[in-house]
Amino acid sequence: MMPLRVLSVASECFPLVKTGGLADVAGALPAALAAEGVHLRTLLPAYPGVLAQAASATPVHGFDDLFGGPARLLAAREGDLDLLLLDAPHLYARPGGPYADQWGRDWPDNPQRFAALCWAAAAIGRGALPDWQPAVVHAHDWQAGLLPAYLHYAEGPRPGTVFTVHNLAFQGWAPASLLAELRLPPRAFDIDGVEFFGGIGALKAGLRLADRITTVSPTYAREITTPEEGQALDGLLRSRAGDLAGILNGIDEAAWNPAADPHLAAAFDAEHPAGREANRAALRARAGLPPRPEGLLLGVVSRLTGQKGMDLLLQALPALLGHGMDLVVLGAGEPALEAGFRAAAAAHPDRIAARIGYDEGLAHLIQAGCDALLVPSRFEPCGLTQLCALRYGALPVVARVGGLADTVIDANEAALAAGAATGLQFAPPSAPALEAALARLAALWADRAAWARTQANAFRAPVGWSRSAARYAALYREVARPGVGS
């Protein structure tokens, strides 16, 4: 039986380019789906850093004019990734990140930059590559949101379409004056098309025009159909409830494997967790915190934003310190929150360490060396950092929202008695509720037998892709169009 051909379209993909969890998902899905009989090929913008890592890339298709200049599709293979790279220098050959310049300002032509990605994907979906046509295209987040629209308004056969929203808060809005420039027909500017609050909504287009919608956890799929969490799209999502599914994210268990992680001071696993002590000591040393074997060491690996509840953590720091806990923070984000954690570290240099920025190796060491990982998000579509924590035996302390609620079993009395707990949940996402969770965490730490049992459960918790990959494969087969991509 021939593998089902699927084109995955994303603005980032680990290990080539990453700003958040979308990259991890896009990077892990191909290998996970191969076991399900799916050949997943990933289309990605050819940012300078991506081109530098894809030395073997070869041209397979050209565009004379792609939103302001010529462009090429390059084919490349990097590890488990079968890649198509959109090489459009006028859109992507610039300093800074995927979405913003080196000063953090969004590129003003982002609508055109990601419309180009969608246009190229639609061309591939309609047979631009004679030796490889997908039966399904899988678009991720607003950057790929116009892809279902381009296919919907095109003439002739097309592949099935799946749209995954990783974070409903980022919507890719553009003014209506760009309709023709973005190559959308006049009839697309309608409430049943791409129109959103008088402009063009890329995310809305994907949600309205894809054959199926997924999001990255069952709880988030329910939350986004409510006015409180629906970001003005809840009515649309309720109307498409029959086409909406929450499929939980996983992590790449090869990339996040404490038994073979090159970033750690010592290897360990669920059967031999003693190696965590060496990593705990190494983390304290690297963070500049003095040795304190009896003290509970907490970690944070996060964007420093209000969505992630980092302001709540700042408010809860007196309670954290009062319980004798220490803290290592790794992340970057809102300037006021960065300044707040820097100030806290300066005021308590023996208890709090803050590293502003991102360091993949330090992220791994925090997971391996902290006793508990804090994830106090106000909303969280899925979250991956708590899955990494479980894999590394750090107890997640999470707000009861989105995928956090779906992946962590709270250490309440019933779960402790049943031997099922893997971490702590708290609600609502507020500083007092977080402080109460820290008090519960301190009590659990004091009962070392209960802590050890909970940690053992965390090690064994399912965090990979096997179940979710099977659900994606079944969904692809449901939407695949007969005679397209076969």
Tell me the one-letter amino acid at 225. T
Nearby residues of 417 by Cβ (< 8 Å), 6 or more positions away: none
Q: Are residues 201 and 321 in the same domain?
A: no
Residue 285 lies in a domain: yes
Residue 270 lies in a domain: no
Residue 260 lies in a domain: no
Phi, psi at 98, each rounded to 5°: -65, -30
Q: Are residues 455 and 471 in the same domain?
A: no
Q: Are residues 222 and 188 in the same domain?
A: yes
Q: Are residues 354 and 399 in the same domain?
A: yes
Question: Do residues 237 and 207 lie in contact, with contact meaning Cβ atoms separated by under 8 Å?
Answer: yes
Q: Are residues 129 and 183 in the same domain?
A: yes
Instruction: Please state the domain count of the chain.
Output: 2
Q: Are residues 180 and 240 in the same domain?
A: yes
Tell me the one-letter amino acid at 235. G
Residue 268 lies in a domain: no
Using CA atoms, how far apart are residues 125 and 112, in angstroms rounded to an integer? 20
**Domain assignment of residue 372, given as a range:** 275-460
Q: Are residues 298 and 245 in the same domain?
A: no
> Tens digits of per-residue pLDDT, 168-183?
999 999 999 999 999 9
Q: Are residues 9 and 142 in the same domain?
A: yes
CATH number at residue 362: 3.40.50.2000
Residue 256 lies in a domain: no
Q: Are residues 380 and 441 in the same domain?
A: yes
Residue 428 lies in a domain: yes
> Tens digits of per-residue pLDDT, 396-419?
999 999 999 999 999 999 999 999
**pLDDT per residue of the chain (486 residues) written in tens, 0 to 9:** 789 999 999 999 999 999 888 999 999 999 999 999 999 999 999 999 999 999 889 999 999 999 999 999 999 999 889 999 999 999 999 999 999 998 889 999 999 999 999 999 999 999 999 999 999 999 999 999 999 999 999 989 999 999 999 999 999 999 999 999 999 999 999 999 999 999 999 999 999 999 999 999 999 999 999 999 999 999 999 999 999 999 999 999 999 999 999 999 999 998 888 899 999 999 999 999 999 989 999 999 999 999 999 999 999 999 999 999 999 999 999 999 999 999 999 999 999 999 999 899 999 999 999 999 999 999 999 999 999 999 999 999 999 999 999 999 999 999 999 999 999 999 999 999 999 999 999 999 999 999 999 999 999 999 999 999 999 999 999 999 887 875
Return the HEC string of the chain: CCCEEEEEECCCECCCECCCHHHHHHHHHHHHHHCCCEEEEEEEECCHHHHHHCCCCEEEEEECCCCCCCEEEEEEEECCEEEEEEECHHHHCCCCCCCECCCCCECCCHHHHHHHHHHHHHHHHCCCCCCCCCCEEEEECHHHCHHHHHHHCCCCCCCEEEEEECCCCCCCEEEHHHCCCCCCCHHHCCCCCCEECCEEEHHHHHHHHCCEEEECCHHHHHHCCCCCCCCCCHHHHHHCHHHEEECCCCCCCCCCCCCCCCCCCCCCCCCCCCHHHHHHHHHHHHHCCCCCCCCCEEEEECCECCCCCHHHHHHHHHHHHHCCCEEEEEECECHHHHHHHHHHHHHCCCCEEEEECCCHHHHHHHHHHCCEEEECCCCCCCCCHHHHHHHHCCEEEEECCHHHHHHCCECCHHHHHHCCCCEEEECCCCHHHHHHHHHHHHHHHHCHHHHHHHHHHHHHCCCCCHHHHHHHHHHHHHHCCCCCCC
Residue 131 lies in a domain: yes
Residue 48 lies in a domain: yes
Q: Are residues 184 and 299 in the same domain?
A: no
Predicted TM-score (pTM) of the model is 0.92
Q: Does residue 204 have a known ligand-binding role?
A: no
Q: Are residues 97 and 222 in the same domain?
A: yes
Q: Are residues 416 and 472 in the same domain?
A: no
